[in-house]
Amino acid sequence: MESSSQTAAPARSSDRVLVIMAKAPRPGMVKTRLASSFPVEVVTEFYRCLLDDTLALGRSLGGVELAVMCPRSDVDELSLLAGNGTRVVEQKGEGLAAGLSSVFAHFAENQQHVIAFNSDSPHLPRSILEDSFAMLDSHDLVVGPTHDGGYYLVGAKTSHPLFSGDGMGTSSALDRLLFRARSLGLSVGLADHFYDIDVADDLVRLAAELRHSPARAPRTAAWLKEWGDAAAQLRTGTGDL
């Protein structure tokens, strides 16, 4: 059931929908694997930047409806962050598997092309999202693999029993998804491999890339530069944080 507090949006005008899987940026609730390397307040602020840039990436796609899927407790806050014109829908059940199942149960109707996309890859080239939507013209499923054995996007034209809490967020998540898809006889197209931001090494890689191409995720790039400058001052003893 959709929350009564979700953001109002006009009737669908596109057969392509990009759904961001998101959480409200609250301390201790987002990017928890980074919390072992950075203060929790820093991680929360960083995630807020990632989410803002991910929403901007979605809005930059022509002819694509943008929506957000999230836990019930986050609907009101994310509705404010997403702004008018972006539907924010509460998922049924708890956890990522339930969220992904909710995306396709809610949005995939009449052969609409629906892609569920994570909220921490705003640096993804827009062409990969465009190519993934196009891939659904000739495939039942499209998957964007990450280098660590997971996936950063999954798209379909109808709902399938593909997602289970077993193995989600592990190095076997992609293999499990592909096994279920093929056992159902679904044709699968693979988008380019990419990386999301889970651990400190991912953040270092992202910072290096955005130093050269900050326009890919401008708010995240600005935050990383500010944080990097402050950290450098602390290491050299020339400032405090």
pLDDT for 146: 94
pLDDT for 109: 78
Give, as one character, the DSSP assignment of residue 13.
-
Element (H, E) at 16: strand 16-21
Tokens of 194: 């990419």
pLDDT for 85: 87
Kindly write down the DSSP assignment for every residue of 119-152, as one continuous string.
SS-TTS-HHHHHHHHHHTTT-SEEEEEBTTS-EE
From the centroid of its chain, how far is CA 86? 15
Selected from 3.40.30.10, 3.90.550.10, 3.40.190.10, 1.10.645.10, the CATH number assigned to the domain covering 16-197 reads: 3.90.550.10
Residues in the chain: 241
- 71-88 confidence digits (pLDDT tens): 999 999 999 999 988 999
Phi and psi torsions of 56, nearest 5°: -65, -40
Through-space distance between the first and last CA atoms of the chain, rounded to whole angstroms? 44
Print the SS3 string covering 137-194: CCCCEEEEEECCCCEEEEEECCCCCCCCCCCCCCCCHHHHHHHHHHHCCCCEEECCCE
pLDDT for 56: 97
Element (H, E) at 197: none
pLDDT for 68: 98
pLDDT for 13: 53
pLDDT for 234: 46
**Domain extent listing, the chain:** 16-197
| Reduced DSSP (H G I as helix, E B as strand, rest coil) percent helix, strand, coil of the chain, to 5 | 45, 15, 40
Phi and psi torsions of 232, nearest 5°: -65, -40
pLDDT for 10: 42
CB contact at 8 A, 202 and 152: no
Phi and psi torsions of 144, nearest 5°: -105, 105
Residues in the chain, pLDDT under 50:
1-11, 234, 236, 238-241
pLDDT for 194: 96
pLDDT for 188: 98
